């Protein structure tokens, strides 16, 4: 019996039930199992209907959860913006709210081969020399 799907088992039970019912006179000793088959089939039908109902309910509840989660994310973004506005985006107080304060990266100092800091060129570079005319 292992490996059979539920619909196959139900179909086989219904087939056995019909066959035993049709041959009651020849199989009187199967009256008790026939009653049990009726009970099993009745329970399976009820449970299948209940399962379908619960599946629909589960899907509805899943939709409601997703909707509430989206609303929660919007509220969280609002609260985060208010907290950042109140304390500033560099305040360590933000950590208490689960937010990352802005911490700028330290500037890199360029060091030459002699170990001395390299001076940056000014933004106003000398204008390029005019092309030589021939």
User: How high is the pLDDT of residue 13?
Assistant: 93
User: How high is the pLDDT of residue 4?
Assistant: 84
Task: Summarize the confidence of residues 71-77 as an average pLDDT.
Answer: 94
Nearest-angstrom CA–CA distance, 74 and 131: 61
User: How high is the pLDDT of residue 134?
Assistant: 57
Q: Confidence class of residue 113 from pLDDT cuts 50, 70 and 90?
A: confident
Nearest-angstrom CA–CA distance, 13 and 41: 8
Question: Can you give the pTM of this predicted structure?
Answer: 0.52
Contact 30, 43 (CB under 8 A): no
Confidence check: pLDDT of 30 > 80: yes
User: How high is the pLDDT of residue 10?
Assistant: 92
């Amino acid at each position: 019996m292992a490996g059979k799907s539920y619909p196959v088992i139900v179909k086989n039970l219904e087939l056995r039930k019909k066959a035993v019912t049709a041959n009651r006179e020849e199989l009187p000793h199967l009256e008790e199992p026939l009653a049990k088959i009726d009970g099993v089939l009745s329970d399976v039908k009820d449970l299948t209907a209940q399962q379908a109902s619960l599946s629909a309910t589960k899907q509805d509840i899943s939709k409601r959860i997703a909707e509430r989660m989206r609303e929660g994310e919007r509220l969280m973004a609002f609260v985060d913006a208010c907290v950042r506005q109140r304390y500033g985006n560099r305040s360590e107080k933000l950590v208490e709210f689960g937010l990352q304060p802005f911490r700028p990266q330290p500037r890199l100092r360029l060091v030459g081969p002699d170990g001395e800091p390299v001076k940056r060129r000014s933004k106003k570079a000398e204008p390029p020399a005019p092309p030589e005319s021939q």
